[in-house]
């Protein structure tokens, strides 16, 4: 069994990614650590606990940091709904997370088993950045880190230059990208290109007619409305599930290695991920960046997870 730890700001696409990992037959999810992002922290925690329960698992869910390192928290209820899971009437209260702090769990789980634990990050990188500040050796202990964040070619989805996860806490993201850990970046541009679920594909998923198949479609209600406003396209993209698909089967992705700089400070470029495509910085690459995935491979993995 492969060992995963998942760091998430659980909302509608994160929940689908959790389903994919929790239902993978060859993966043991040691822990889910939660960070504030898409919605405030407590709502993210409850959404994670609900998803674990729906999958019939007992994976521990740990509470992490409730705000970024420097700036106030920015959330995305307009994208995912007030409860994070589309406001479709789910009971997202009253569940109890595991004892322990997410940052401690990240350090202890990964550093106690060097080279064994894969880290998948689905939200702002606050928890992971804090864990690296506490224990820099985590960077060398992790087997691999898959980051859903940033964008290489498209404009941002929260500012003209920045993708949401990086923009919420670029200081933490810079720590992670500069840490030296083996890292694959799955950007929002990759999601729009390879993980967009149009009405036809959504109908194919719903036709599987299991509770999980209906769940992963139903909770996208707000995201679908947001996507129409943003792009004029009917359907929804699934960036976090795409990142999870690459973590589960790296062979589905074509990648290129780049030095990726995360822009901090104030101004219109805050949170931007700048890829040194022509190697002008003279710095060694710090990330493998996903460039191509066959959408049918991703859709097949998603369908298999909800059967």
Instruction: Calculate mean pLDDT across residues 78-103.
Output: 97
- Please tell me the total count of domains within the chain: 1
pLDDT at 161: 96
Helix axes 170-177, 126-134, angle to 10 degrees: 50
Rg value, the chain, Cα? 17
pLDDT confidence band for 184 (50 / 70 / 90) = very high
Q: Would you mind telling me the total number of residues written for the chain in this entry?
A: 307
Q: Which two tokens stand for residue 219?
A: 């909770």
pLDDT at 231: 81
Give pLDDT tens digits for 96-118: 999 999 999 999 999 999 999 99
DSSP states of 83-141:
TSSTTS-----S--PPSSBHHHHHHHHHHTSTTTEEEEE-S-SHHHHHHHHH-TTHHHH
CATH number of the domain within which 137 lies: 3.90.245.10
Residue 230 has pLDDT above 80, yes or no: no
pLDDT at 140: 98
Domain that holds residue 278: 2-305
């Amino acid at each position: 069994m492969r060992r995963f730890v998942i760091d998430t700001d659980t909302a509608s696409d994160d929940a689908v990614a959790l389903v994919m990992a929790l239902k993978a037959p060859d993966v043991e999810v040691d822990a889910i650590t939660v960070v504030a992002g898409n919605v405030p922290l407590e709502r993210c925690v409850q959404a994670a606990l609900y998803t674990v329960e729906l999958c019939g698992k007992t994976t521990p869910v740990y509470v992490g940091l409730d705000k970024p390192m420097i700036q106030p928290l920015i959330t995305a209820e307009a994208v995912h709904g007030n409860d994070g899971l589309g406001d479709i009437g789910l009971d997202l209260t009253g569940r109890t997370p595991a004892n322990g702090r997410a940052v401690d769990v990240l350090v202890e789980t990964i550093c106690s088993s060097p080279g064994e634990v894969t880290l998948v990050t689905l939200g702002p990188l606050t928890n992971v950045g804090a864990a690296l500040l506490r224990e820099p050796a985590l960077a060398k202990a992790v087997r691999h880190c898959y980051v859903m964040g940033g964008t290489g070619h498209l404009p941002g989805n929260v500012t003209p230059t920045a993708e949401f996860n990086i923009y919420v806490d670029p200081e933490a993201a810079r720590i992670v990208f500069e840490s030296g850990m083996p890292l694959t970046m799955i950007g929002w541009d990759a999601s729009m290109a390879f993980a967009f679920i149009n009405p036809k594909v959504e109908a194919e998923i719903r036709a599987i007619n299991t509770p999980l198949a209906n769940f992963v479609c139903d909770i996208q209600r707000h995201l679908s409305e947001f996507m129409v406003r943003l792009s004029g396209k009917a359907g929804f993209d699934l960036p976090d599930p795409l990142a999870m698909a690459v973590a589960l089967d790296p062979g589905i992705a074509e990648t290129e290695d780049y030095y990726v700089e995360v822009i901090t400070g104030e101004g219109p470029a805050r949170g931007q991920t700048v890829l040194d495509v022509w190697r002008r910085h003279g710095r060694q690459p710090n990330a493998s960046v996903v460039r191509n995935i066959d959408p049918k491979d991703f859709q097949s993995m998603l369908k298999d997870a909800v059967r």
